[in-house]
Amino acid sequence: MVEKHFEIVTNFDIYVFLIPFLPLVASIITLLFGKRYFRDKSHILPILALFFSFLLSIKVLIEVIHGKIYHFDVYTWMFAYDLKVGLGFLVDPLSAAMMTMVTCVAFLIHVYSVGYMGGDPGYYRFFSYISLFVFFMLMLVLSNNLAQLYLGWEGVGLCSYFLIGFWYQKKSASDAGKKAFIVNRVGDFGFALGIFMAFYFLGTLYYNEIFPKLPEIANKYIGVLGYEVHVPFLIAFLLFCGAMGKSAQFPLHVWLPDAMEGPTPVSALIHAATMVTAGVFMVCRLHPLFELSDAMMFIVAIIGAFTCFMSATIAPTQFDIKRVIAYSTLSQLGYMFMACGVGAFIAGMFHLLTHAYFKALLFLGAGSIIHALHHAPDPNDIRIMGGLKKYMPLTFWTFFIASLSISGIPGFAGFFSKDEILAQAFFSKYPWGKFIWFVGWVVASMTAFYTFRIFFKAFYGEFRGKEVIHGYPHESPRVMTIPLIFLAIGSVFAGWIGIPKILGGSNHIEQFLAPILGHPRIVHEVSHSTEYLLMLLSIGAGLFGIFLAWLVYVKKPSLETFFSKNFRPVYVFLFRKWYFDELYHYTIVKPTLWIARKVIRGVADNTIIEGIVNGSARLVNITGTGLRILHTGIINHYSTFILIGILVYLLVYLYLK
Amino acid sequence: MEILLNNLLSWIIWFPLIGILIILFTNRKNESFIKWVSLITIIIDTILSIYLLINFDFSKTGFQFVEKKHWIDFINSYYFLGVDGVSILFIPLSTLTTLLCILISWDSIKSMVKEFYLALLFTNIAMVGTFCALDLVVFYIFWEAILIPMYLIIGIWGGPRRIYSTIKFFLYTFFGSVFMLIGIIYLYIKFGTFDYTILVNQKYPFLVESLLFLAFAIAFAIKVPMWPVHTWLPDAHTEAPTAGSVILAGILIKLGGYGFIRFAIPMFPQAAIYFSKLFLVLSVIAIIYAGLVCLVEDDLKRLIAYSSVSHMGFVTLGIFSFNPIAMKGAILQMINHGIVTGALFMCVGIVYDRTHSRAISYYGGLATSMPIYAAFFMVFTLASIGLPGTNGFIGEFLILLGTFLSNKTMVVFGATGVIIGAAYMLWLYQRVFFQELNPNVAEMLPLKKNELIALILPTLLIFWIGLYPNIFLNFMTTSVQNLLMNLR
């Protein structure tokens, strides 16, 4: 294969710079002046900024397709002796693809929010935060070094915190925001150590300087608690901790379902399409490092597989439509990590891109329903929906497309990317490839099942919410449905950039990303017949899931409670989300607070340390009172003391001499 | 200009005397005149200190703006001043802190106004003097002189338990200083001089050096304060008036860190290296221990006071790792902490003036009734938990990265403080600003002009240092390198 040659631009490029900078400016202006001057027009500036960012990213993407790579620093951010880090940009095929997706989806969701957030007292605040989020996301994606990656990483986390707790008067919302931030901090603790470790061994934080130095550490070991640990494994593992936090993988997945407290456009943009995929993006960005350690690749794959499976078991038991989709997001992120873990980085990125469209669409469709039912006490509950097909046709059709796409029905975007992951897992050179394929295959049918569960429950049957909303729902305004249509287009055609060769396509995405992510790590002989067979199997899995959902939720609704009644313990276990929240509460939160309150503050601080401090003060006091007895004021006593003193002094002097 | 430049440090130190003299001869009823005089005095002093920054030569290794005049000849003590990259940034920080204190106290100090502003100006003289002094007698005098106005500020204008707290504060820190005084006297008897530049190059037997190091270190450790000699701080902070807390957080506890870098470590390098493990462990304990206390603290001011202990743990961690990157980070983090924690104390003071309650449970939903204030508090919270883009990140990042190069284990433990820090600060923020509006704070006066200015200044600095720290880092480059080279 011929290596593609790139022209590397190292000069400052104003267009690249403006892509993240425009949303930042819009965000700051909206935050400062929105409340007083813009009010219900606060959306104009951010939407304009996003629109131009999107156009510029298309321009830059086209340049990258034609063989340009941008790599430059805007200025030196931190400079201390050996450490030199800039704020700068690296636009190569990987980041260009990601950047275009981010600006495109963000633009559509901004437009949608005009309808969804209309009339909210925090309207200006919402648009300011969400634009700021886009800025940080782009800084993360376009970063050329690890420190700036961390800047974007924490920045998107901050915006996520703001937006989850957007309705801060609600305790559950502010709790969820805080939980998201702190759980992410746990991951970032590892991430930061990973950065330090990388700097310690490689002496730089720039990607383009890290990669050539990787061979130096390929066979290095370092002692950790008496064990000799492979250095690339250690660095990659620590960095991966950050990815587990941000991309909500087991065991740090607990924040994402709660994050659904935020407004739905936020769930679509941040908690489905962009921020949560940052972990996958980071693994792809640093894939040469991860590939140095087979153990690390195995961990990535197995964490992805476990999260993928676990979430797919929880999703069908939940009644909150957004939570179901959130678990589906966890599960799909699991697919992406599974892809990375078998060396199928391109397939992982491909799934990331297609997922952004169909998952954003699912969320916005759910948002459209919630918007229509917003008079209900809990508009997210699928038990009050039903029959919406009649009232909300556009939402119905677009949601249908998204559901087909995520279920992997041929022709839709999700089919191509998921199939690519499964095929490459099956043919992977890594020994766990077949197992990963199996998990992915099983979960594919579960995905179709739980997605169509909410689809059928929401759109089919009779409308069950007449009493709670006092009437019938209406289709959402055009400002919300038009973005749905665009996302639906994306949910179909985004996959066509990666039509595999055996289906007569030319797999553009693979050709585009291969110079950065390398070609698939698969065994040499791949038989076409096996490939077709795999494809049929995964289509079958999807269709089976849909059929099952149809059977249970449309054909024979009596079956609906069959599982929850007959397998009560299993059902409760799944319904309670495998008890992770309770586990963390009783093993981490409670003991920490107990130690802090009783041991640290109660015993150590107030009793021991303060006891010694106040005790010594008292000792001085007592000594003083005691010595006062000697203070008689009688000359004879004093002269006796002086005499004794002189004698003692003389004795000591003579003795020492 | 020539006169000014030749004696610039003296000008900055003693300029507030002019204000003091004017206020002394002003009728105490004329309160607004007193306030304006002290404000203008400090503004000019701040401008002078910025002028000092501008005229600093980055490339020189030794001390700059040196002044050496005969003073107490018979003990061979000189009036000897000078600054280098380690100390220079603390001078504008001191004047700025006093400036903020005057702004934030404008309406909140109502009794004995004249004495209050005299005390503030006097504090400013002593603070700047301490950072400039190169003669140990001069240093010691300035060092102890700060205690007098601080003792009064806490004891007169403080909260209900002010007498207990101020005596505790005074005795605690004085106790430490006595050891340092013994050390200084020993050095004088041995070498016949108080000149820092001479003493720093002496060699000692290891045992003597260790004892001397410990004598100085106790004084500095109490000031920082390091675990386990930190318990004066929460009491002093809690009972002090807002301006007192801001000075404590902004400058006073920085004197400890500064003392380590300027005196204890370079004068007694072998001992410093020998004891560095101990100090690293104490730092890590401080980070985690104080952070955990913050998690269960239910008094706003005590919480922020304990967070200071935790943050200063990062500073001492950076200092005792003896890595140039970490050392730079530690100095910068002291500046950062002064700005951020000072600002947080001002924020607490602002609501305390309105409600007279420090209990976290008294508040709730404040973001609804004071949105602008909430936004400022959020910025300071984020800087405090070290979010990239704010100054707190630069300091913590440099400290942890630098320390990692010399001691990995400590960083692994120390970095958990970053998680705990996020937990207690965000939980605090949630309980005070989010959730349903507590009827106690439903009707709050909006921010006054003086309060607004006092909050805007640190906000600007937070983002400036966070986004472009190099201006500040460059001051230290040569001095820190020099310092650590002599250590090896």
In the structure encoding, which two tokens stand for residue A611, read together? 């006891």
* Short-list A360, A260, A348, A254, CA closest to A304: A348
Q: Which of B373, B383, B397, B282 is nearest to B338 (CA)?
A: B383
Mean pLDDT of A609-632: 80
At A74, which helix (H) or strand (E)? strand A68-80
* Residue in chain B nearest A594 by alpha carbon: B296
Residues of A in contact with B399 (CB under 8 A): none
Cβ <8 Å between B473 and A165: no
Mean pLDDT of A358-376: 89
- Cα–Cα distance, B137 to B81 (Å, whole number): 12
CB B166 within 8 A of CB B47: no
Show residues of chain B in contact with A185, CB under 8 Å: 418-419, 422-423
Say whether B298 sits in a helix, a strand or coil. coil
Q: Which of residues 434-463 of B touch A (CB under 8 A)?
A: 434-437
Give the start-end residues of each E strand in A81-123.
83-91
Predicted TM-score (pTM) of the model is: 0.91
Structure tokens that stand for A205 in this block: 């934080």
Helices A123-142 & A14-33, crossing angle to 10 degrees? Answer: 160
Q: Does pLDDT of A3 surpass 60? A: no
What's the confidence (pLDDT) of residue A154?
Answer: 92
Enumerate the residues of chain A whose CB falls inside 8 A of the CB of residue B405: 199-200
d(CA A471, nearest CA chain B) in Å? 31
- Using a CB-CB cut-off of 8 Å, the residues of chain A touching B433 are 168
Chain A CB within 8 Å of residue B349 CB: no
Tell me the pLDDT tens digit for each residue of A265-317: 999 998 888 999 999 999 999 999 999 999 999 999 999 999 999 999 999 88
From B386, which residue of chain A is nearest by alpha-carbon distance? Answer: A154
Name, in order, each residue with C-beta under 8 angstroms of A255's C-beta and a sequence gap of 6 or more: A176, A179, A180, A183, A184, A248
Per-residue confidence band for A543, with pLDDT thresholds at 50, 70 and 90: very high
- Alpha carbon distance A429, A522 (integer Å): 5
In 3D space, the residue among A382, A364, A362 whose CA is nearest the CA of residue A373 turns out to be A382
Q: Does A174 touch chain B (CB under 8 A)?
A: yes
The pLDDT, as a whole number, for residue A657 is 63
Test A80 with B422 for CB contact under 8 angstroms: no
How far is the alpha carbon of B306 from chain A, nearest alpha carbon, in Å?
Answer: 11
Q: Is the pLDDT of residue A435 over 60?
A: yes
Q: Which of A228-232, A396-400, B25-29 has the lowest mean pLDDT?
A: B25-29
Q: Which positions in chain B touch A605 (Cβ < 8 Å)?
A: 231, 289, 293
- The length of chain B in residues reads 488
Q: Which helix (H) or strand (E) holds B80?
A: strand B77-83
Rounded-to-integer distance, Cα B367 and Cα A356, Å: 34
Instruction: Give A171's contacts in chain B (Cβ within 8 Å).
Output: 434-436
Structure tokens at B418: 């970053």
Q: What is the mean pLDDT of each run of 10 residues along chain B (488 residues)?
A: 82 91 88 91 93 88 87 87 91 93 89 89 93 92 91 87 87 89 90 88 88 93 89 89 90 92 91 92 92 90 92 93 92 94 93 89 88 92 92 93 89 90 91 87 86 93 93 89 82
Q: A73 pairs with which residues across the strands?
A: A88
- Which value does ipTM take for this structure? 0.90
Domain boundaries defined on chain B: 2-487
Nearest to B293 among A81, A200, A605 (CB): A605
Question: Which residues contact residue A657 at a Cβ distance below 8 angstroms, ignoring those fewer than 6 apart?
Answer: none
pLDDT at B119: 92
pLDDT tens-digit series, residues A507-534: 888 888 888 888 878 777 778 888 888 8
Chain-wide mean pLDDT for chain A? 88
**Chain B neighbors of A181, CB-CB under 8 A:** 422, 426
Q: Is the pLDDT of residue A433 over 80?
A: yes
Distance from CA of A607 to the nearest CA of B (A): 11
How many Å lie between the alpha carbon of A79 and the closest alpha carbon of chain B? 6
pLDDT value for A2: 42
Q: Calculate the alpha carbon distances from A93 to A68, A479, A485 in Å.
A: 9, 32, 27
CA distance B330 to chain A (A): 12
User: What are the CA-CA distances from residue A298 to residues A236, A311, A441, A444 (Å)?
Assistant: 12, 20, 18, 21
**Does A29 have pLDDT greater than 90?**
yes
> Considering only residues 618 to 647 of chain A, which have any Cβ-Cβ distance to chain B shorter than 8 Å?
none
Q: Is B467 on the interface with A (CB under 8 A)?
A: yes
Q: State residue A384's pLDDT score.
A: 84
Residue A153: name the closest of A182, A183, A191, A127 by CA: A191
- CB count, 10 Å around CB of A62? 12
Q: Report yes or no: B123 and B149 within 8 Å, Cβ to Cβ.
A: yes
| For chain B, the helix, strand and coil percentages under 3-state DSSP, each to the nearest 5 | 75, 5, 20
- Give bridge partners of residue A90 from the DSSP assignment: A71
A192 to chain B, minimum CA–CA distance in Å? 9
Q: Which residue has the tokens 């005009």?
A: A114
Residue B286 near chain A (CB below 8 Å): no
Inspect the interface and report whether the beta carbons of A78 and B397 lie closer than 8 Å.
yes
pLDDT of A121-144, one tens digit each? 888 999 999 999 999 999 999 999
pLDDT at position A365 is 92
Instruction: Indicate the residue of B367, B387, B416 with minimum beta-carbon distance to A168.
Output: B367
Mean pLDDT of A571-582: 86
Label residue A96 by pLDDT band (50, 70, 90): very high
User: Can you list the positions of beta strands (E) in B98-248?
Assistant: none
Q: A75 and chain B: CB distance < 8 Å anywhere? A: yes
- In this complex, do B367 and A150 lie within 8 Å of one another by their Cβ atoms? no
The reply to whether B172 touches chain A by the CB within 8 Å rule is: yes
Tokens of B265: 């470590």
